[in-house]
Homo-oligomer: A and B are copies of this chain.
Amino acid sequence: MLTEEQKKQIEIENEKIDKTLSDITNRIVVFSGKGGVGKTTISINLACGLKLKGHTTGILDADVTGPNVPKMLGVSEQLTISKNRIIPQEKYGVKVVSLASMVSEDQPIIWRGPMRSKLLNQFIGDVEWGNLDFLIADLPPGTGDEVITMTTKLKPEMAIIVTTPQAVSLIDSKRAITMAKKMEIPNIGLIENMSGLLCPKCGYNIELFGAGGGSEQAKEMGVEFLGSLPIDIETRKAADEGYPIVLQNDSTENSNAMMKIVERIENQIALTEKI
């Protein structure tokens, strides 16, 4: 049972969250069943891609125990707090908030679920996000506390589920899609990442994780297929170096595919708003 004091605190917290959300037009959660499928790489590229299209955009790193957004965006400064509010960092015109910008690099976050959820509530309600067209939340793998909290509190317009063509990843993404449906998220899209790998020298098709399976799964489960992204060493390197591939001058197959997904997201959300 909650005490009166605790109830009052939750009420204040929820009011702050609602106030923040009223200035953010579209919220998108990016998640997956399996880990290591490229959620963060895709999240930072979508955020930068939406910014390129002229939208004000923010990215919230909701992977509390493995926060990699700052590294992949090349943000190394610590977050600042002003008048009890967290001030997002800004990189490539995108606002960024992550726990990685509050702790040192080797510090493990040994926190149980309730504490992680409390932090995520603060990352919505206590952050000066300001007016945003899009806020992208990069979630940890699985369907645990962070995913439950973010899909409940953020009330997202869209869930993007990332999978690879690997059998175990497709099983896990099925679970993730079912969860998004249960949470009644209005738009659900699937991306097949790490789809196929051609040897950069001889062009041989290397079946690392296989290819295909994503579009059939999307059809079978009645969700939007947003596109396939090939395995691309440049995209991985760009992320490791903190410089997302969509921002680099030479447009590659992968950055073009990423921008096409950005356009599909714009269309999908515009369509929902018309209804």
Contacts and interface: CB of A to CB of B under 8 A. Distances in A.
A50 interface: no
Interface centre among A34, A144, A178, A237 (most CB of B within 10 A): A144
Given A202-B201, A202-B202, A204-B202, A168 B68 contact: yes
A71 B166 CA distance: 12
A121 interface: no
Contact of A209 (B108, B116, B145, B236): B236
A134 to B, nearest CB: 23
Interface string A41-84: 00000000000000000000001111010011000000000000
A244 B193 CA distance: 25
Contact of A174 (B35, B106, B174): B106
A178 B105 CA distance: 11
Interface in A236-267: 236-237, 239-240
A33 B178 CA distance: 26
A141 B140 contact: yes
A68 B201 contact: no
Name the prevailing secondary structure of the A interface residues. Answer: loop
A93 interface: no
A233 B204 contact: no
A271 interface: no
Contacts of A142: 63-66, 109, 140
Interface in A181-223: 182, 197, 199-202, 204, 206-209
Copies of this protein in the complex? 2
Nearest to A140: B142
Contacts of A71: 167-168, 171
A65 to B, nearest CB: 3
A237 B147 CA distance: 30
A104 to B, nearest CB: 10
A98 B141 CA distance: 18
B36 A37 contact: yes
